[in-house]
Amino acid sequence: MDNKTTAQEPYMVFSPPATPTQATDMDGMAFDFNLGLRVSVPQGNYRVAFIDRDKHLTVYNAPISGAMATSTKRYFVNFRLEVWQDPTEEEKKAAKDKKIESKLIFSHDYNAKGKKVLLKFAGRALGDMLAWFPYAELFRQKHGCELYAQVEEQYISILQPGYPQIHFIKGDKLPEDLYASYYIGLFAPWDDRNLQPMDWRVVGLQAHAAYLLGLPPREEKIKLVPSKKAKEIQPKEPYVCIATQATAQAKYWNNASGWLATIDYLKKQGYRVLCVDREKVTVNGIYGNAIPYGAEDFTGNRPLQERIDLISGAKFFIGLPSGLSWLAWGCNVPVVLIAGFTSPGTEFYTPYRVQQFHTCHSCGNDQRNEHKYDDFGACPHHRGTDREFECTRCISPEYVQNVIEQLRKDLNL
């Protein structure tokens, strides 16, 4: 959700092995769970059934001969596969009045223990990656599988220290003999129930990944580990990190004096204020956004590990519904989250969420709006009117300061 994407993005290209990888004792029959349950059978009088074991529901039951059958659901389902041999017409005629039963010749219940499983994560969006990746480890633990993760290469270095038992893949070369593979992303249109069981706009970003992988939709924090050099780059004075940029104007704090007044307030409380955005200046349509006056400039395309090292020493973090807020949360730093575009529950829970409900708000979760990525971040309800971006324009700096005061009181800062 943090990144402008289109249907042509690489993560939207589902690329399982060309044929099922798990051989059986019967020539010409193989199966796997790569891009749903798949089974190929030789020529003959066969029938296959796909059964959801958790729901006790047969979702497919049809004749097949010399072909491959694939489930429509591409996300995790606890499937049972059954292959039956039906009697031929000649056998039925020969039996006359006797009823000939179909014969179960093969069955398999999903069991990934000790087997290779691939999770392919979507795109370049930092926030989405940090929201979803904790469920990879939960999946590995639940199934006892040999788990491989395909992520943007820039994220491997910050994820590996916290998840040493997961194999990270660089490039597109898949492991051999993959038992199963699952794709973790937001697949437009978001009401496509073959690619995702739930709409993220309803359940939130984290629960979206949990539902894709058949896991409990509870909140899970990403494990981010500061490096040994962290203390060397952290200021000795008390400091606060802020991130004022986002990938969509709808996510910004669009109050003209908001950041200026907040930075002035923080400095009067004795804090250094470090702006850790990647970009110093961004332009979204007619809107320009620059590093706020008074903040120390720690912007730049720096390694993410350096961001972790710096943010992990901050007294607290102030940000928007964007990747660096997820990063700060993973560093176990208290987060003041200024939001209007999304509804509570979309991001991680923080008691210091700043959001007002007196104006239009939460359009990002409005199911009437199918986001257009070539127009990402526009105000869908009030574009070009005096109500544009009122969700965050009406968040006053005094409101933010009151939340910061509560944080300082709670944490004895």
2, 32, 128, 277: the active-site residue: 128
**How confident is the model at residue 61, as a pLDDT?**
97
Mind listing the pLDDT tens digit for each residue in 325-351? 999 999 999 999 999 999 999 999 999
DSSP string, 132-192: HTHHHHHHHHHHT-EEEEE--HHHHHHHGGG-TTSEEEPSSPPPTT--EEEEES--SSTT-
Token readout for 39 is 């089974």
**How confident is the model at residue 1, as a pLDDT?**
44
Mind listing the pLDDT tens digit for each residue in 389-399? 999 999 999 99
- Write down all domains in the chain, each with its CATH number in brackets: 20-109 (2.60.40), 114-212 (3.40.50), 230-411 (3.40.50.2000)
Q: At residue 221, does pLDDT exceed 70? A: yes
Q: At residue 12, does pLDDT exceed 70? A: no
Token readout for 134 is 């904790």
Residue 2's pLDDT band, with cuts at 50, 70 and 90, is: very low
Residue 10's pLDDT band, with cuts at 50, 70 and 90, is: low
Torsion angle, alpha carbons of 57, 59, 61, 65, to 10: -140
Instruction: Report how far apart, in Å, the C-alpha atoms of 101 and of each of 43, 62, 85, 98 are.
Output: 20, 16, 9, 10
d(CA 190, CA 63): 32
Mean pLDDT of 269-283: 96
Mind listing the pLDDT tens digit for each residue in 239-261? 999 999 998 899 999 999 999 99
**How confident is the model at residue 376, as a pLDDT?**
66
Mind listing the pLDDT tens digit for each residue in 116-125? 999 999 878 9
Contact status, residue 255 vs residue 244, Cβ threshold 8 Å: no
**How confident is the model at residue 3, as a pLDDT?**
41
- Over the chain, what is the mean pLDDT? 93
Token readout for 103 is 């014969």
Mind listing the pLDDT tens digit for each residue in 345-375? 999 999 999 999 999 999 999 988 776 666 7
Phi, psi of 180 (to 5 degrees): -155, 155
Mean pLDDT of 170-187: 91
Mean pLDDT of 26-49: 96
Provide the percentage of residues in the chain whose pLDDT is more than 70.
Answer: 95
**How confident is the model at residue 11, as a pLDDT?**
54
**How confident is the model at residue 335, as a pLDDT?**
98
Mean pLDDT of 19-32: 96
Mean pLDDT of 67-93: 91
Our answer to whether residue 2 is catalytic in this structure is no
